[in-house]
Amino acid sequence: MDRGRPDPRRRWVEGFADRHGPPTTTVQGYGLLLAAPDGATAELYAAPGSPAADDVTGFVASAVAPRRIGLLLARKGAVAVGVAEGGDLVVSKVDTRYVQGRTAAGGWSQQRFARRRDNQAKAAMGDAADLAVRLLLPEASRLAAVVCGGDRRSVDTVLADRRLAPLVPLRAERLLDVPEPRHAVLVAAVAAARAVRIRLRDPAPD
């Protein structure tokens, strides 16, 4: 981070106060709630693995602090697994298996293709679990969080592997919306995993 520039999260909070008046700050399970005198509110959702904070200064400091997180992206037959230190991806691996698409055929042929597709998907997620075991499991004690992305069902299937049980408590609620996992997608996911999400509600009309 460039220490010569104000952090954009801090600038956003200052802009919120300028527009709506100095807000009161309340600690919430997701992060902080800012409530302005004119009725506007802003919910600041802490980034995965970010320590809790009871004021804006601490919240911003926690958000920008370097921390080690795991990444697991899965969609259909593709998986990308990585470890990020701060904003840098330090460990990564991408794997793709062919999973047949849906067919317009009916009857027996449709059932046969469906079984083949299910078997291909199961094999792909099995490979994905093996990859997570190799890359993420040895890092479990050092990770602040594991952030997942892609298709929730695919991610759930991977993490259902008993070998990955130590990672389950580290799983962040945030699910990144990503396309089919590739290395470039994994790199971009690092910033998305560290981002602070803000939900803004304007004052109710008179």
Residue 122 has what pLDDT? Answer: 57
Residue 100 has what pLDDT? Answer: 43
**Domain spans, the chain:** 8-65, 68-194
Residue 206 has what pLDDT? Answer: 65
Alpha carbon distance, N-terminus to C-terminus of the chain: 42
Under 8 Å between Cβ of 115 and 157: no
Class of domain 68-194: alpha beta
* Nearest to 190, CA basis, from 102, 103, 60, 88: 88
* Nearest to 76, CA basis, from 97, 93, 92: 97
Q: Rg for the chain (alpha carbons), in Å?
A: 21
Q: What secondary structure does DSSP assign to 115-143, as a single string?
A: HHHHHHHHHHHHHHHHHHHHHTGGGGGG-
Q: What secondary structure does DSSP assign to 43-110, as a single string?
A: EEEPPTTPPP-SSHHHHHHHHHS--EEEEEEEETTEEEEEEEETTEEEEEEEEE----------HHHH
Choice between 88 and 77, residue whose per-residue pLDDT is larger: 88
What does pLDDT average to over the chain? 85
Least confident segment among 118-127, 132-141, 197-206: 118-127
User: pLDDT tens across 101-112, in order?
Assistant: 444 444 445 555
Q: What is the mean pLDDT of residues 168-175?
A: 95
Q: Max alpha carbon distance in the chain (Å)?
A: 67
Half-sphere exposure of 163 (CA within 13 A, CB side): 14
